[in-house]
Amino acid sequence: MLFRSTKNEWLGNEKNDLFAGLVSSVAILPEVIGFAIIAGVPPLSALFASAVTLLVVTVTGGRPAMVSAAAGSMALVIANLVNAHGLNYMIAATILTGILQLILGYLGIHKLMRFISKTVMFGFVNALAILIFMAQVQQLPNQTIASYLMIVGSILLIYVLPKFTKILPPALIVIVVMTILSFFFQDHLQTVGDLGKMTDIAPRMSLPFVPMTFKTLLIILPTSLALSMIGLIESLLTVPIVDKMTNSSSDSQREVKAQGLANIVTGLFGGQAGCAMIGQAVVNVKSGGRKRLSTLISGAMLLLFIFVFKDIMVAIPTAALIGIMMTVAVDTFDWESLHLFRTFQLTECFILLVTVSVIVYTHNLAIGILLGVALSSLIYYVFKRETATE
């Protein structure tokens, strides 16, 4: 079977996967809601799309414990399409994105990963860490003193709690404790519910209400191509990071196909395209997630937040999530890459700095990675040519 998984990919780490799934589901909330508003998509619809993406990839994907949802990088791409043509064209673009990714999966696009050097990988990881941290810093202005204290308290607890207990992941304890505390400071803390209007949704599977014409294809194709490439680049570069963190192997080609299938299904349910989310994947793994069960719990919890526990979800203080994601940014940054500067590897340092700078400046992973690869290839070609001449 194409997407068959083994029992070992699901079981053997149940307690840790349960807690990790709970934590990662909450970690998904602020990014998905925040970027949904920027893209012009109803927040609960974006969360539902994330749940569908996460559940489909959990069952069919090639990298257990990797979180995929309606990532901010994808939301930024769809914003112009939504503003110009409306949500139905976005849905059509999502389905086409899935079809393109499925085709690319069968064509073996994952093999192109071999052309991405370790230095460019360093740049990708470090740029994402910087973007995650910057996204938290941008929320700090105009916060209350109570919010600042909660952010600092959350960061301290993340690092201190593991010294006293390893039964529960520290991020889960922080979320529970800070949510309880927030009820005593209701007028002084921003909550998830303050990020956007949480109107109820009634999802159903159907085709988008757009004309099935060549003109429609021309409208959605540029967006779908961009979504396909950005989604696959981010997913394929996140896979080896989770591999390294969990000391395990994965199937990149299967992951590409799974991302495509997930976007098709998500689009049929009226949702937006998604891909791997490195920050939330790190949260999941750092919280103990190792098996498919962790992301299954995460996706199921998102559905419960939407349809059952919405009142609890909207009460979660964003200050706690900011603190958690700041620690995730620090943990995501590949400090090993700094040895390039200590050993004065000038060309490698240049490639790293260019990759990081372009991604951080443009917020476009595809441009940064492609430029980094092109620069690496050019330097290698010039160096090889000079060596041959000598």
Each residue's pLDDT, cut to its tens digit, for the chain (390 residues) gives: 467 778 889 999 999 999 999 999 999 998 888 888 878 899 999 999 999 999 999 999 999 999 999 988 888 889 889 999 999 999 999 999 999 999 999 999 999 888 888 888 889 889 988 988 888 888 888 789 999 999 999 999 999 998 888 788 899 999 999 999 998 888 889 888 888 777 778 888 999 999 999 999 999 999 999 999 989 988 998 999 999 999 999 999 999 999 999 999 999 999 999 999 988 999 999 999 999 999 999 999 999 999 999 999 999 999 999 999 899 889 888 888 888 888 867 888 888 999 999 988 887 777 888 888 888 888 777 765 555 555
Beta bridge partners of 317: 191
Task: Encode pLDDT of 85-140 as tens digits.
Answer: 999 999 999 999 999 999 999 999 999 888 888 888 889 889 988 988 888 888 88
The ranges assigned to domains in the chain are 12-331, 335-389
Q: Are 65 and 242 in contact (CB under 8 A)?
A: yes
pLDDT at 383: 65
Q: Are 132 and 329 in contact (CB under 8 A)?
A: yes
C-alpha atoms less than 13 angstroms from C-alpha of 163 in its C-beta half-sphere: 5
- What are the phi and psi torsion angles at 170 (to 5°)? -60, -35
CA–chain centroid gap for 342, Å, is 31
pLDDT at 2: 61
Task: Tell me how crowded residue 256 is: count the other CB atoms within 10 A of its CB.
Answer: 27
Torsion angle of the four alpha carbons 71, 73, 78, 80, in this order, in degrees rounded to the nearest 10:
140
- CA angle at residue 330 from 145 to 173, to 5 degrees? 60
- Look up the pTM and report it: 0.87
List Cβ<8 Å contacts ≥24 apart for 368-371.
Answer: 368/123, 368/124, 368/127, 369/116, 369/120, 369/124, 369/233, 369/237
Q: For helices 87-107 and 214-246, give the axis angle rounded to 10 degrees.
A: 60
